[in-house]
Amino acid sequence: MGEYVLPQGLPAPVPARDGLDRPYWDGTRRHELWVQHCGQCGTWQWGPEWNCHGCRSLAIGWESVPPEGVLYSWQRPWHPVHSALADAVPYTVVLVELPDCGGVRMVGNLVGDPLQRFAIGDRVQAVFEDHNDSPTPFTLVQWRVLS
């Protein structure tokens, strides 16, 4: 499946039964990026939690945010830690910061050549990677460096 950054066979993300992260995963299916945003105090929060860690409000809400950010850190795995990755190394993992959303961070893969040149601070844009052929269809949020 050439359109995926990593091969099929890795565990498929499914929303937790408790419902905590459902707005996020439902959003990815619509190619939208949703994070928590407290209606009481304005704190941006990621990953999802039951209350706002800024003001402790249980009424923390969700908001769709622009799917773009800044490359905060990265690593390039060469050792396959899962059988599905045996022929897929190296690949690049990025940690993306969303500066307009309180600096929350998201983990994803960099789209394109795993040995491409990039730097911390580069602007990146989300690439929504649909896995419609999965028994439990899902969408991953990958990232592309904006030139």
94 vs 142: CA distance, rounded Å: 9
Q: How many CB atoms lie within 10 A of CB 114?
A: 16
**DSSP reduced 3-state for 84:** helix
Q: Which is nearer to other proteins, 121 or 146 (CB)?
A: 121
The answer to whether 68 and 124 are in contact (CB under 8 A) is: yes
Binding interface with other proteins (CB under 8 A): 6, 10-17, 20-21, 25, 46-49, 53, 72-79, 81-83, 85, 88, 90-91, 93, 95, 104-109, 120, 135-136, 138, 140
Peptide bond into 90 cis (omega under 30): yes
Smallest separation (angstroms) from other proteins to the CB of 15: 7
Q: Which is nearer to other proteins, 12 or 41 (CB)?
A: 12
Q: Which is nearer to other proteins, 68 or 95 (CB)?
A: 95
